[in-house]
Amino acid sequence: MDITYRTDITPPIDQIIEVYNDSGINRPTADKERIEKMYANANLIITAWHHNKLVGIARSLTDFCYCCYLSDLAVSKDYQTSGIGKQLIQHTREKIGPQTTLILLSAPAAMDYYPKVGFEKIENGFIIKRQL
């Protein structure tokens, strides 16, 4: 499969929402303004394209020297299990460099996936959940 990975473009919000909805990721896709803000304030976006179609996206917030939070990893359903998610993670790691820790919060359904692509489960984290 001919997939191109890019870091030089933020896709139109409608395309991002389409991938989110198709992937099964739980994001507030009915709130377009909120999705726009999520992307306006992200500083590392890796996209996966099959020809001219957006099929995957990784959205992160990072300082590029100590830590990187991989907030969203979404791949369209028809493209899942083809290695695109793993490649999006690999491209993220390449951009942040070996000195930067990559962290994420996993959806319960994805808990078995992340160890397969190099993540280590940790027990020393905390969260204050959003109210809205």
Q: CA-CA distance, 54 to 33, in Å (whole number)?
A: 20
The model's pLDDT over 37-55, given as tens digits with 9 standing for 90+, comes to: 999 999 999 999 999 999 9
pLDDT at 132: 77
69 or 109: which carries more pLDDT confidence? Answer: 69
Helix (H) or strand (E) holding 105: none
Residue 42: count other Cβ atoms within 10 Å of its Cβ: 17
E strand map for the chain: 3-6, 44-50, 53-62, 67-75, 101-103
Looking at residue 1, its pLDDT comes to 80
pTM over 0.85: yes
Q: Three-state SS for 50?
A: strand
- Quick one: 3-117 is in which CATH superfamily? Gcn5-related N-acetyltransferase (GNAT) (3.40.630.30)
